Amino acid sequence: MSGLTSLSVSGTLTATTVNATSDIQVNGTSYNLTQLDRVNVTTIGTAQASKALVLDANRSASNIYNLIIDPNGTGIVCSTLKFWNAAGTASNTLAHMYYVGVQEGGATASQAVVLNSTKDYSGIRNLSCSGTLTISTSIATPSITCDTITKAGTITLSPTTLNLNPTTLQIAGTAVTATAAELNAVDVTAGAAAVSKALVLDSSGSIGTITKMTCTSIRSTTTECQITAGTALDTSAECRAYPLCITNDTDTVGSVAGISFMIDSTVAPISTSTPSAVIAAVRTTGAYAVSDLRFYTRSGSAFGSPVAERIRLTADGNFGIGSSSPPTRLSVVGDSGNLSGSWQRVCNFANDNASPITGEIQIVNAATGASSGNGMWFGTTTSDPLRLGVGNSTVMYLNSSSRLGVGLSVLNWSPEATIHAGGWIYSHDGFYRRTQSNSASYMFAWAGVGYGGVGWDNTNGQRVRIGITNQDGTWAGYPNSVYGGPYTNGSNRRLKTDIRDCPHGLSTGMQMRPRLFRWKSSEDTEPDSIGFIAQELQPLVPEVVSGDENCPEDENGMNAYPMGIEMASITAVLWKAIQELTARVEDLEHKAIP
């Protein structure tokens, strides 16, 4: 159909080809068919030249090259707006609407400064700050990397650690060629040598604590220590020219570094003579190993007498006098053959008084055949006493007379016998003294005549005797003498006073109750005993009863002061009763005679 100028369709128009030269109306609205090709979009959601922009199913469109927004409009309102960055990745966020074309963390001319995700930024050529530039110390190693830092006046840096890594470091225009390690070598105390440090003289021009110094030539600038000014110090000089010599050192076992004292003015050169004394450090194993410190003196007065070691301080801290291998912190070894056999003087003590007191500890090893003398010995080597103390007080005292005092502080420590105790003496088993002829073995006093003693007397046969002794133990008298046989009581009138008649007689005797009993300590086979009970007799005849009814018992159940009866004195009571009874009998007999 052609040449048709107008066509009205109320339903659907279906045609394979429509060729229209003017507008077409649809539902009363005119459409220019010449622009119909702009909606022929190949890919929905992708912008194309001369094509309509058709959103995809997600209402998105891409590949838009340029978008111009009217500055008089209201802007773009959306929750997220992304831009393509230089790398072609759509990863920039909404903030880039203010920094279009900016690379995060890198400086670009005429672009804003934007830090990257780690708050870093680089590429700034010059940075000018009119106030204070503060570098955060919240990180472990804060740093500034730049070519030049310029400030009029003084720049003050106060970091804990300042790390500079320049290719060339200049100070006042002069390049510093020393390394940091070399600069550390001058961090020293003036006048004191230190390991890996420079030598800096102190204010007096001196330096000390140098362990070793190796030089091609050393010359003295002044005349000191018997060395003429300008004299070269070398090892070929004689000993008399150098009274103090420092020995050389080598890195071998047994090598010596020390000081030799050459005080003999007429000795030959050092190669043929020996020093008077030497202090030396001697290496014990190999190179850079530990060393012993040794002290030597010349062993004799003859020419060429070798030096002998006297003292050694080992590398592990043991100190020996007369010992080359001290086993303890202090080891002293004495001479041999000074006593019977061999002995060692372990320790010797002395004070500094005008008449000093000396004491020693010795280990004695007697010669063959005299081993009874072996043992440890300690005591004074002067005539002064030996004291043993506890709690800073003397408790035992041994004097030069071989008298031992124990607890004699109240007696001014003057023992009167071989063993003198200031208190009670207790023996678990007993006492023993070898019997002496006609003298006391045990004496009750020491200082004079007239004290009691116990011993024996063979004048009339072997008899045990209790009597009065002289100071040497011989018998001085016989009062209260007791012999082995019948026991007797002394009854010398010259020893008594206030003599009266006995008040106890027949009436008392009639109240006395003789008893038959057994001792608690007796065996079952032992016979019964006859006697009196002390508690029953005490109210009648208190003069013959001793002891304490209420005394405590010891750990063995025994009374310390048991009650007892003096049976010999009861004889007088009984004899008085006989006298009274005899008088009554005689009286009755007289009355019975007409």
Alpha carbons within 13 A on the beta-carbon side of 380: 17
> What does the pLDDT read at residue 364?
76
> For residue 185, what are the contacts with CB-CB under 8 A and spacing of at least 6?
196, 197, 198
Burial 387-405 (b: 16+ CB within 10 A, else e): eeeeeeeeeebbbeeebbb
| CB 545, CB 564: distance < 8 Å | yes
Q: What is the DSSP string of 538-561?
A: TTT-GGGEES-TTPPB-TTS-BSS
Domain boundaries, the chain: 386-495, 506-592
Total residue count of the chain as it appears in this document: 594
> For residue 438, what are the contacts with CB-CB under 8 A and spacing of at least 6?
456, 457, 458, 459, 474, 475
Residue 143 CA to residue 136 CA, distance in Å, equals: 9
Alpha helix (H) residue ranges in 103-236: 180-184
Residue 585 CA to residue 217 CA, distance in Å, equals: 139
Residue 534 CA to residue 526 CA, distance in Å, equals: 22
Pairing verdict, β 393-398 and 386-390:
antiparallel
> For residue 355, what are the contacts with CB-CB under 8 A and spacing of at least 6?
none
Nearest CA-CA partner of 534 in 521, 515, 520, 553: 515
Alpha carbons within 13 A on the beta-carbon side of 414: 5
Q: What is the pLDDT along the chain (594 residues), one digit of tens a residue?
A: 566 666 676 777 666 666 666 667 767 777 776 777 777 778 887 888 888 888 888 888 888 878 788 878 777 776 666 655 555 555 545 444 455 566 676 777 767 777 887 778 777 777 777 777 676 656 666 666 666 677 666 777 776 677 777 777 787 778 888 887 888 888 888 888 888 888 888 888 888 777 777 766 665 555 444 445 455 544 444 444 556 776 665 545 556 677 877 765 444 434 445 677 888 888 777 666 788 899 988 888 776 677 888 999 998 899 988 888 888 788 777 654 444 445 666 677 777 788 888 888 887 776 555 566 678 888 998 889 999 999 988 999 999 888 999 988 876 788 878 888 888 887 777 666 655 667 777 777 665 556 777 877 665 555 677 777 777 777 766 554 444 455 566 678 888 899 999 999 999 999 999 999 998 877 788 889 999 999 999 999 999 998 888 877 756 566 656 788 888 889 999 999 999 999 999 999 888 877
> What does the pLDDT read at residue 455?
79
